[in-house]
């Protein structure tokens, strides 16, 4: 059973390469009329301004209207604001690049490490840390017919859990899972993120704008470099979208490349608390019951893993 735990923890540690960059918003993006919310009325004002039916915007309004950060105010901004007013787009992301969202410290992100077909889901806020992967039981246990299973680790209110999202099951992490060290210290895991990319950005402006090809796709990407004692991390952005991150050691050898499929400040509700109807497991007996759930989801039996 501990092999399953080790697979998950090793995969999570592999993600330790996020950098942070400085950016601060002085206005509420998308709020043009100053009522502290994003609404259809704001979208209408922006659309009128874009076709010169409205020309009395203050500088603050112009800044708030350029939600796409392309240094112009047009129908695409109005469309984004309208979608944001009904939560089809997330207004909390307006006026931010992917790097800004990372720097804000509260985000949901989906990434894939180059060389792996397994996407990761990462949630980080002041009070919640959650990481989820799809564990390939077929490869891990040499069982070709086994199904992949979603597994996660949640740190919430100073308690750490292993999570089976499909079964709504939570296993409290204790010495049975962490080799006698007590509850898993998620802050220590998350600290690894900062160690490989922390610190202030070397350049507040892009160090280059050039075509970059990754995973068969070519981006005209702006690149931002961050350097510290552990090496260098580079963010590649196409417009406001953070496309991927590369980390390099002190010799300039690339040690990690991550494709970013999604990053947003919208935090999924299902990781903000343990659901009231969740099944909670503890101790050795609980660990066995929890692992049995995972094995069953994979289409296997306990005996298949021995």
Task: Tell me the mean pLDDT in the region 121-138.
Answer: 86
Q: How confident is the model at residue 196 (pLDDT cuts 50, 70, 90)?
A: very low
In sequence order, the β-bridge partners of residue 223 are 208, 236
The pLDDT, as a whole number, for residue 215 is 65
Number of structural domains in the chain: 2
CB-CB contact of 108 with 123 (8 Å)? yes
86/231 same-domain check: no
272/288 same-domain check: yes
Q: Distance of alpha carbon 27 from its chain centroid, rounded? A: 24
CB-CB contact of 16 with 193 (8 Å)? yes
Among the listed ranges 79-93, 135-149, 170-184, 271-285, which one has the minimum average pLDDT value? 170-184
Q: What is the CATH number of the domain that holds 288?
A: 2.50.20
pLDDT in tens, 198-247: 333 434 344 556 677 766 777 677 777 777 677 788 888 888 888 888 88
7/140 same-domain check: yes
Would you say residue 39 has pLDDT above 70?
A: yes
Q: Tell which residue, 115, 68, 66, has the closest CA to residue 89.
A: 68
Domain of residue 7: give its range: 1-23+96-306
The pLDDT, as a whole number, for residue 270 is 77
Q: Comparing 215 with 88, which gets the higher pLDDT? A: 88
Whole-angstrom distance, CA of residue 254 vs CA of residue 3: 29
Q: Distance of alpha carbon 185 from its chain centroid, rounded? A: 19
Burial of residue 93 (CB within 10 Å: 0-12, 13-18, 19+) is buried
207/233 same-domain check: yes
The pLDDT, as a whole number, for residue 45 is 96
Does residue 33 sit within a domain? Answer: no
- Listed in sequence order, the residues at least 6 apart from 21 whose beta carbon sits closer than 8 Å to its beta carbon are 99, 100, 102, 103, 201, 224, 226, 235
pLDDT in tens, 249-261: 888 888 888 888 8
114/149 same-domain check: yes
Upper half-sphere CA count for residue 6 (Cβ side, 13 Å): 6
Task: Tell me the mean pLDDT in the region 119-128.
Answer: 87
72/105 same-domain check: no
150/289 same-domain check: yes
Q: Tell which residue, 96, 99, 119, 123, has the closest CA to residue 109.
A: 123
What is the sign of the dihedral through the CA atoms of 239, 244, 249 and 253? negative
Report the chain's C-alpha Rg in angstroms: 22
Looking at every residue in the chain, the average pLDDT score rounds to: 79
Number of helices followed by number of strands (H, E) in the chain: 9, 12
pLDDT in tens, 63-78: 999 999 989 999 999 9
236/207 same-domain check: yes
The pLDDT, as a whole number, for residue 20 is 42
- Listed in sequence order, the residues at least 6 apart from 69 whose beta carbon sits closer than 8 Å to its beta carbon are 95, 96, 97, 239, 240
Among the listed ranges 23-37, 41-55, 174-188, 248-262, which one has the minimum average pLDDT value? 174-188
The pLDDT, as a whole number, for residue 281 is 93
159/261 same-domain check: yes
Q: What is the SS3 assignment for 256?
A: strand
Does residue 32 sit within a domain? Answer: no
The pLDDT, as a whole number, for residue 118 is 76
The structure's pTM equals 0.75
304/163 same-domain check: yes
Last residue within a domain, chosen from 52, 68, 95: 95
């Amino acid at each position: 059973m501990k092999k399953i735990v080790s697979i998950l923890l090793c995969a999570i540690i592999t993600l330790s390469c996020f950098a942070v960059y400085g950016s601060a918003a002085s206005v509420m993006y998308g709020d043009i009329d100053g009522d502290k919310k994003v609404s259809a009325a704001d979208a209408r004002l922006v659309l009128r301004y874009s076709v010169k039916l409205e020309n009395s915007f203050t500088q603050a309004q112009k800044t708030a209207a350029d939600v796409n950060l392309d240094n112009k105010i047009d129908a695409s901004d109005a469309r984004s604001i309208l979608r944001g007013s009904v939560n089809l787009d997330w207004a909390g992301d307006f006026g931010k690049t992917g790097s800004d969202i990372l720097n804000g410290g509260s985000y949901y992100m989906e990434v894939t490490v180059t060389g792996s077909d397994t996407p990761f889901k990462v949630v980080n806020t002041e009070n919640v840390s959650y990481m989820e992967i799809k564990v390939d039981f077929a490869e891990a246990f040499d069982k070709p017919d086994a199904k992949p299973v979603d597994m996660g680790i949640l740190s919430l209110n100073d308690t750490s859990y292993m999570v089976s999202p499909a079964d709504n099951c939570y296993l409290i992490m204790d010495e049975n899972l962490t080799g006698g060290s007590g509850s898993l210290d998620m802050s220590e895991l998350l600290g690894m993120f900062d160690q490989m990319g922390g610190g202030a950005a070397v350049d507040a402006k892009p160090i280059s704008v050039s075509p970059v090809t990754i995973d068969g796709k070519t981006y005209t990407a702006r690149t931002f470099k961050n350097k510290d004692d552990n090496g260098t991390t580079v963010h590649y952005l196409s417009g406001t979208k953070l496309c991927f991150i590369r980390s390099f050691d002190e010799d300039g050898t690339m040690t990690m490349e991550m494709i970013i499929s999604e990053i947003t400040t919208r935090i999924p509700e299902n990781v903000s608390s343990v659901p009231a109807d969740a099944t909670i497991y503890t101790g050795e007996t609980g660990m066995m019951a929890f692992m049995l759930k995972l094995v069953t989801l994979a289409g296997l039996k306990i005996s298949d893993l021995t």
